[in-house]
């Protein structure tokens, strides 16, 4: 079953609202879950808050904070190896197809897009559980956009 999770980026405060509850009274309001403190309020046409959805994928890092890998969200900048070259790109969501994709440029500067599962995982068995991630989250487009410009 797909886990539906999201994070919210507040562009005015340049801060993540990692745990947010969304409530509506005609306008949208984000409350921080830990303190129940209201941090901002905006209407649905505002660009102040941008929500990013959990892709359902995890990277190759295994740390105390991420024992099964860091979760990958839309807007995350990913480093992976595919087709004989290292790629740095971003996870995006396509409303038209209702799915995530990985957008990058190859060594010739040509834009490419892949299904993330085909690029981020190495499959060594017959089912999805027989796989390991070869991708790594190295930042996100909100705080680390310079990583995409270095390509």
pLDDT band, very low/low/confident/very high, at 90 (cuts 50, 70, 90): very high
The reply to whether 77 and 124 lie within a common domain is: yes
The reply to whether 43 and 71 lie within a common domain is: no
Number of folded domains in the chain?
2
Phi, psi of 118 (to 5 degrees): -75, -20
Residue 94: inside a domain, yes or no?
yes
Structure tokens at 101: 């994709």
Q: Is the confidence at residue 21, as pLDDT, over 90? A: no
Handedness of CA 61, 120, 90, 13 (dihedral sign): negative
The enclosing domain of 88 has a CATH number of 2.30.30
Residue 48, SS3 per DSSP:
coil
pLDDT recorded at residue 10: 80
Task: Identify the domain containing residue 83 by its residue range.
Answer: 57-145
The reply to whether 61 and 88 lie within a common domain is: yes
pLDDT recorded at residue 135: 86
Q: Please indicate, yes or no, whether the overall pTM of this predicted structure exceeds 0.75.
A: yes
pLDDT recorded at residue 140: 94
The reply to whether 24 and 62 lie within a common domain is: no
pLDDT recorded at residue 35: 43
The reply to whether 43 and 66 lie within a common domain is: no
């Amino acid at each position: 079953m797909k886990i539906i999770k999201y994070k919210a980026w507040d562009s005015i405060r340049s801060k993540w609202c990692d745990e947010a509850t969304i409530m509506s009274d005609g306008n949208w309001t984000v409350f921080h879950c830990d303190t129940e403190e209201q941090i901002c309020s905006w209407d649905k046409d505002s660009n102040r808050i941008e929500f990013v959805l959990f892709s359902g994928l995890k990277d190759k890092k295994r740390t105390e904070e991420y024992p099964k890998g860091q979760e990958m969200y839309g807007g995350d900048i990913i480093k992976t190896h595919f087709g004989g070259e290292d790629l740095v790109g971003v996870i995006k969501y396509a409303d038209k197809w209702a799915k995530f994709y990985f957008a990058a440029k190859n060594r010739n500067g040509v834009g490419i897009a892949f299904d993330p599962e085909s690029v981020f995982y190495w499959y060594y068995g017959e089912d999805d559980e027989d796989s390991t991630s070869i991708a790594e989250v190295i930042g996100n487009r909100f705080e680390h956009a310079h990583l995409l410009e270095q390509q």
